[in-house]
C-alpha cells in the first residue's frame, strides 16, 4: 500500500509501515521469476533464488547497477549468478575473474527490444556448461533465441564458450540473436559444444549487422547445425541455412576468423563462417583442415567461408577442409557468388 506523506503529517496510522522497494528489487524478482519459470520446477526460487536474489525473500538487496551514468558500472564476475545480475544492466562492463560454470543452468537474458550495450571481457576465461533446451516448450515459439536477445554497440572479447548445449526449437545462436555495430574479438566456441536450431542457425551470432569479428572461431569438436521446422501455429519452414559464426551478415567485417568444426544442414545453404552475406569483408579467414561444411539433401550451396555472398570481398582467405553440397554448388571460398571479389585466395583441398 502506497501512502502520500502529505496525507499523514504525524506519521502513518498505528500498525502500518512503509516498505521502500527499489527498481533493483523489482528486477531481482523478475530475474528469479524468469529462471523459475524456465527451470520447470516450482521450488527453484526457494532453493536457488534465495542465494541469488535475496531481496525477493526479504534479505539484503542485490545491486544490479543504476541507470546509466557518466561511468558505466564494472562487474567482476565469478559465477553464473553474478553474470545474470550484471548483464541485466544494459551498460554493464563485465569482467570474468575465473571460469564461469553455469552448471547446466538455463539462461536467456534480454529481449530484442532491450539490447545489451555494455561489454564482456573474459580475460582469457570461459563460460561453460550452459544448457538451453526449449524444444519441448510447445506454447511459446519465441521463448529463446540466444543467451542475449540483442546487442548494439557492445563488445565481447577474450573468452570461450565451452562444453555447452543450445538446442533451440526457434531460429537462433549461442551468444547473441540480433547484433548491430558490435565488436567480437578473440572468441571461440569449443569443447563438444552443440548449437542447433530450427530452422536457421548461427554459431555465435544469428543476424550480424555492421559488426566487427576479429580472431573468432569454431573449434574442432563443435557442431553447428539446423533442421526444418514443422508444426505449431506457424507455417512449416524446410530451408535450414547455417553459418559457423553467423547465419546472415550485412556490412560486417571478419578478420582472422576460422571454422575447424562441423557446420551442416539438412536442407539449406551452409557456410563455414556465414550462410548468407551482403556487402561484407573477409580478411585472412579460413575453413581449416579439420573443418567440414556440408549441405545435405538441398538445392542450395555450400562454401568454405560463405554459402551465398553478394557484393562482398574476400582477401587472403583459404580452404584446407571439406566442403560438400549434394545438389548445387560447392565452393572452396564461396558457394554462390554475385558481385564478389576474391583476391589472393587459396584452395588446398576440397571434397564435394
Q: What integer pLDDT is reported at residue 258 of this predicted model?
A: 97
Per-residue pLDDT reduced to its tens digit, 162-198: 999 888 777 889 999 999 999 999 999 999 899 988 7
Question: What is the secondary structure of 55-124 as a DSSP string?
Answer: GGGTSPPP---PSP-SS--EEEE-SHHHHHHHHTSTT-EEEESS-EE-TT----B--TTS-B-SEEE-TT
Q: What integer pLDDT is reported at residue 329 of this predicted model?
A: 82
Q: What integer pLDDT is reported at residue 339 of this predicted model?
A: 96
Strand stretches in 234-298, DSSP E = 242-243, 246-250, 253-255, 258-259, 262-265, 270-271, 274-278, 281-283, 286-287, 292-295
Q: What integer pLDDT is reported at residue 62 of this predicted model?
A: 38
Q: What integer pLDDT is reported at residue 161 of this predicted model?
A: 96
Q: What integer pLDDT is reported at residue 1 of this predicted model?
A: 35
Categorise residue 65: left if φ over 0, alpha if ψ from -120 to 50, beta otherwise: left
Which residues of the chain fall below pLDDT 50? 1-3, 35-70, 136-143, 234-236, 352
Amino acid at each position: 500500500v502506497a501512502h502520500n506523506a502529505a496525507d499523514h503529517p504525524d506519521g502513518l496510522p498505528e500498525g502500518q509501515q512503509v516498505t521502500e522497494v527499489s527498481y533493483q528489487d523489482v528486477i531481482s524478482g523478475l530475474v528469479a521469476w524468469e529462471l523459475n519459470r524456465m527451470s520447470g520446477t516450482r521450488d527453484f526460487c526457494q532453493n536457488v533464488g534465495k542465494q541469488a536474489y535475496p531481496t525477493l525473500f526479504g534479505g539484503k538487496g542485490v545491486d544490479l547497477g543504476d541507470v546509466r551514468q557518466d561511468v558505466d558500472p564494472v562487474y567482476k564476475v565469478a559465477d553464473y549468478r553474478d553474470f545474470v545480475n550484471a548483464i541485466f544492466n544494459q551498460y554493464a562492463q563485465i569482467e570474468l575473474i575465473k571460469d564461469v560454470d553455469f552448471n547446466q543452468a538455463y539462461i536467456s537474458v534480454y529481449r530484442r527490444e532491450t539490447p545489451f550495450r555494455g561489454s564482456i571481457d573474459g580475460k582469457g576465461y570461459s563460460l561453460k556448461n550452459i544448457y538451453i533446451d526449449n524444444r519441448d516448450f510447445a506454447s511459446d515459439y519465441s521463448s529463446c533465441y540466444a543467451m542475449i536477445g540483442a546487442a548494439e554497440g557492445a563488445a565481447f572479447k577474450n573468452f570461450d564458450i565451452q562444453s555447452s548445449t543450445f538446442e533451440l526449437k526457434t531460429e537462433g545462436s549461442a551468444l547473441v540473436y540480433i547484433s548491430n555495430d558490435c565488436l567480437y574479438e578473440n572468441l571461440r566456441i569449443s569443447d563438444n559444444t552443440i548449437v542447433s536450431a530450427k530452422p536457421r542457425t548461427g554459431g555465435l551470432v544469428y543476424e550480424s549487422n555492421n559488426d566487427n569479428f576479429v580472431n573468432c572461431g569454431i573449434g574442432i569438436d563443435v557442431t553447428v547445425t539446423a533442421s526444418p521446422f514443422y508444426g505449431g501455429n506457424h507455417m512449416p519452414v524446410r530451408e535450414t541455412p547455417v553459418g559457423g559464426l553467423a547465419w546472415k551478415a550485412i556490412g560486417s567485417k571478419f578478420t582472422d576468423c576460422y571454422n575447424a568444426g562441423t557446420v551442416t544442414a539438412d536442407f539449406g545453404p551452409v557456410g563455414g563462417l556465414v550462410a548468407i552475406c551482403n556487402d561484407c569483408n573477409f580478411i585472412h579467414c579460413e575453413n581449416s583442415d579439420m573443418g567440414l561444411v556440408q549441405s545435405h539433401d538441398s538445392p542450395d550451396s555450400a562454401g568454405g567461408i560463405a554459402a551465398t555472398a553478394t557484393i562482398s570481398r574476400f582477401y587472403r582467405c583459404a580452404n584446407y577442409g571439406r566442403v560438400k553440397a549434394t545438389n548445387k554448388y560447392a565452393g572452396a571460398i564461396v558457394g554462390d557468388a554475385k558481385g564478389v571479389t576474391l583476391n589472393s585466395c587459396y584452395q588446398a583441398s576440397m571434397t564435394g
